[in-house]
Amino acid sequence: MANLRPALPRPSPSFDLAGRCGACAIRELSICSVLSANELDLLCTIISTINFEPGHTIITEGEPAGDLFNVIRGSVRLYKLLTDGRRQVTGFLFPGDFLGIALNDTYAYSAEAIEPVQLCRFPRRKLEALLAELPRLERKLLGTTAHELAAAQEQIVLLGRKSAKERLASFLVLLSDRALKRRQPASPVDIPMTRTDIADYLGLTTETVSRTLTQMRQEKVIATIQRNRIDILDPGGLIELAGGTIGN
């Protein structure tokens, strides 16, 4: 069932960024990676940090798109509510990922914190005003938008053409690949989201997700270390099950 509770009040921002942007642990993964030190100083004049506890709403579909965000710590679920009240999870974000790009004046999806999350917040109008002075950042944002469109196309293929096992294998390959991009081990894979989140993302039932994970364990493709941590025992076998890697 979709979470229909009202959005919780937003936490107050923290303006303690002075001197920290240059030493940011995820800078090379974020949109800021293309900026020189002087350009970064200019961007930092409009940035604040903001924190959310698990389950708190970050943005809501249909609200004015007043801010954009970069994930510094934690993980975020993106979702849309269907007309019948069901929830379709459309993606997950991790440190270095960008959040809030809108093609019009309202957010096209909702976002919630899965675990404690810290974000850099960019007021949209102030950021747009800076882009003329930061052309490399503008190109990076265009690339991020193109990347989101490509990920949406991959999701269509995932939901429309693959079996339950192929979908789940593709999802694990995706998480493994994204961990590598964050310079973390490809295995074990951390799974901060719930089985219901995974089911809503893959277009499956929670029972099917659990049953398919059990099958993969029995086939010794994976092993469960903890409920939210999976060891990939046979990377080649997992990729074969997935029908190839999923770019994201």
Query: What is the arithmetic mean of pLDDT over 13-42?
Result: 72
Task: Report whether pLDDT(42) > 60.
Answer: yes
The CATH architecture assigned to 21-144 reads: Sandwich (2.60)
Any idea where the domains of the chain sit in the sequence?
21-144, 162-242
Task: Report whether pLDDT(19) > 60.
Answer: no
Q: What is the pLDDT of residues 73-103, one digit of tens each?
A: 999 999 998 888 888 999 999 999 999 988 7
Query: What is the arithmetic mean of pLDDT over 49-56?
Result: 96
Query: In the structure, what pLDDT confidence band is assigned to residue 58 with cuts at 50, 70 and 90?
Result: very high
Task: Give 189's Cβ-side CA count (13 Å radius).
Answer: 25
Q: What is the pLDDT of residues 191-229, one digit of tens each?
A: 999 999 999 999 999 999 999 999 999 999 999 988 789
* Between 196 and 21, residue with greater pLDDT: 196
Residue 32 has a pLDDT of 85
Q: What is the pLDDT of residues 106-129, one digit of tens each?
A: 998 999 999 999 999 999 999 989
User: Nearest Cα to 150, choosing from 58, 232, 248, 220?
Assistant: 248
Residue 175 has a pLDDT of 93
Q: Is CATH 1.10.10.10 correct for 162-242?
A: yes
Contact (Cβ atoms closer than 8 angstroms) between residue 40 and residue 140: no
pTM of structure: 0.83
Contact (Cβ atoms closer than 8 angstroms) between residue 189 and residue 179: yes
Query: In the structure, what pLDDT confidence band is assigned to residue 248 with cuts at 50, 70 and 90?
Result: very low
Residue 1 has a pLDDT of 37
Q: Which of 18-27, 132-141, 149-158 has the lowest mean pLDDT?
A: 18-27
Residue 244 has a pLDDT of 62
Do 21-144 and 162-242 agree at the fold level? Answer: no
Contact (Cβ atoms closer than 8 angstroms) between residue 49 and residue 118: yes
Task: Report whether pLDDT(17) > 70.
Answer: no
Residue 6 has a pLDDT of 40
Q: What is the pLDDT of residues 159-201, one digit of tens each?
A: 777 899 999 999 999 999 989 988 889 999 999 999 999 999 9
Residue 97 is which amino acid?
D
Residue 20 has a pLDDT of 64
* Between 25 and 37, residue with greater pLDDT: 37
